[in-house]
Amino acid sequence: MFPERDIIKILKRKLSKERFEHTLGVAEVAGDLAKKYGGSWKKARLAGLLHDCAKGLGLDRLIELARMSSFSVDEYEMNLPPLLHAPAGAFLARQEFGVNDQEILEAIRHHTVGSPDLSTTGLIIFVADFIEPNRQFPGVEKLRKEVDKSLIHGVIAACNQSLEYNIKKGRIIHPNTLLLRNECLRRIQ
């Protein structure tokens, strides 16, 4: 696996300026959340750095990478192109960046819609993607406060945000976001 500084150099070349800054923001917040909530700082940072490594690739390439990925890609993802950079990213993280740690790869693979059995690193990346400092959307401050309460409260609020946003947009909803929300609600009851 490459050292962090080499990964950052490659990402700077591959990603747009905004996406690169978002990536650094997610890595920073993910590291802080790992310290606060007992995850691995190193895994959280690496998963944060690499979570969007496939963002910006064309649809054909995304489909190709997602098909090659050892992670299964479901019908929702195959039919919703904005979701494909997650499984494609997990594939690239292993092939191009030499990441073999399953927890990091799964955090990347599930970062967009979530999954009911996410690890601590997976939960951290899922929320960090919403609250990193460059994110500005109505409700982001409220979401940051929920993350301050607990990681699980933060994940529930992030699922709510994502579900409400995608419903308002009239989109087909990937059910994993709802399953993750239910699982987290069960954990705090």
Ligand X SMILES: Nc1ncnc2c1ncn2[C@@H]1O[C@H](COP(=O)(O)OP(=O)(O)O)[C@@H](O)[C@H]1O
Stretch that binds ligand X, among 30-38, 88-96, 120-128, 161-169 (CB under 6 A): 161-169
What are the C-alpha distances in Å from 33 to residues 20, 88, 141?
20, 25, 16
Position 177 contacts ligand X (CB under 6 A): yes
Decide if residue 78 touches ligand X (CB under 6 A): no
Enumerate residues 6+ apart whose C-beta is below 8 A from 173: 163, 166, 167
Instruction: Rank residues 150 and 160 by Cβ distance to ligand X and give the closer one.
Output: 160
Q: Which stretch binds ligand X (CB under 6 A): 42-50, 65-73, 139-147, 162-170?
A: 162-170
Figure out which of the listed residues 53, 143, 162, 184 binds ligand X, where binding follows CB under 6 A: 162
What is the sign of the dihedral through the CA atoms of 176, 181, 185 and 187? positive
Q: Calculate ∠ Cα 133-85-19, nearest 5°.
A: 30
User: Would you count residue 171 as binding ligand X (CB under 6 A)?
Assistant: yes
Q: Does 139 bind ligand X (CB under 6 A)?
A: no
DSSP state of 171: P
CB atoms within 10 A of CB 104: 30
Q: Which of residues 88-117 bind ligand X (CB under 6 A)?
A: 112-113
Binding-site size for ligand X (CB under 6 A) equals 13
For ligand X, the closer CB: 171 or 187: 171
**How crowded is the C-beta side of 146, counted as CA atoms within 13 Å?**
19
Task: Catalog residues that contact ligand X under the rule CB under 6 A.
Answer: 80, 82-83, 112-113, 129, 162, 165-166, 171, 173-174, 177
